[in-house]
């Protein structure tokens, strides 16, 4: 029996895809992003263990709430692709139940991404950085694996929402935004682009876990500047 490890479940998500959504946060992530606000999801050995039926049963209990709003379930993390066998079986069961499925991912996991994407209605794809050096600096990992995921999404034709955290001094320049626009234009099925202002809400978690916060001293991104960047480069999204 396939089992997975789940960090937490949010039953009234409003910013994780269309409509009201159940958001399932998977345990485990390969990346160590400079701005990560969920370091408690990194370890693949933590969290609560679920069977496929247990998790789908819990999601189904809220179907009456999210179905009327055009919502569904979003699998987030950590990164759900780090538990591909469990994720795939949960996705299949959700599709059997007529539940809209969404994957919030950085595109770094294991397994055959194309098979997973066949049962995924929407991907919220988290862009970390667009250059090899920038990606390594931002995540501590090479860019190759996330590129494989994007290639798979193009083969399957999955709908995409592109998400970019805008970090002062890292991803807020006009040059970077122009590169991001070119990247978006190179993809099929992009429905939306979200520029998310970098914030400091997760800093206390690092203190509690006795981890060094590597963006110490970097201010939160100005929300109005973030809005102006969105209007300038991605107004039609």
Give dist(CA 118, CA 146) in Å, integer. 18
Q: What pLDDT score was predicted for residue 66? A: 85
pLDDT at 68: 85
User: 142-181: per-residue pLDDT in tens?
Assistant: 999 999 999 999 999 999 999 999 999 999 999 999 999 9
Q: What is the CATH number of the domain that holds 12?
A: 3.20.20.70
Total domain count, the chain: 1
More confident residue, 37 or 116: 116
Please report, to the nearest 10 degrees, the dihedral formed by the alpha carbons of residues 110, 7, 42, 104 taken in order: 50
Question: How many whole angstroms separate alpha carbon 134 and alpha carbon 26?
Answer: 26
| Residue 82 in tokens | 């780090």
Number of Cβ within 10 Å of residue 104's Cβ equals: 26
Q: Domain limits at 48?
A: 3-233
What residues pair up with 23 in beta bridges, in sequence order? 10, 74
- The tokens describing 183, both together, are 């990247």
pTM score of the predicted model:
0.95
């Amino acid at each position: 029996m396939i089992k997975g490890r789940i960090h937490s479940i949010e039953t009234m998500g409003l910013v994780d895809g269309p409509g009201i959504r159940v958001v399932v946060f998977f345990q485990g992530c390969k990346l160590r992003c400079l701005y990560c606000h969920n370091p408690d999801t990194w370890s693949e050995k933590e969290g609560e263990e679920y069977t496929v039926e247990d998790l789908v049963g819990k999601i189904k209990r809220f179907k009456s709430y999210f179905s009327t709003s055009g919502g569904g379930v979003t699998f987030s993390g950590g990164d759900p692709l780090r538990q591909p066998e469990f994720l795939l079986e949960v996705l299949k069961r959700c599709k059997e139940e007529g539940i809209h499925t969404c994957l919030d991912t950085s595109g770094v996991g294991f397994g055959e991404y194309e098979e997973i994407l066949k049962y995924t209605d929407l991907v919220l794809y988290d862009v970390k950085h667009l250059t090899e050096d920038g990606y390594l600096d931002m995540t501590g990992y090479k860019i190759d694996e996330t590129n494989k995921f994007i290639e798979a999404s193009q083969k399957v034709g999955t709908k995409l929402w592109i998400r970019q955290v805008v970090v002062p001094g890292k991803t807020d320049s006009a040059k970077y935004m122009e590169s991001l626009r070119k990247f978006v234009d190179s993809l099929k099925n992009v429905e939306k682009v979200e520029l998310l202002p970098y914030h400091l809400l997760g800093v206390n978690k690092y203190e509690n876990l006795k981890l060094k916060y590597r963006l110490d001293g970097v201010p939160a991104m100005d929300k109005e500047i973030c809005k102006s960047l969105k209007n300038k480069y991605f107004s039609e999204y």
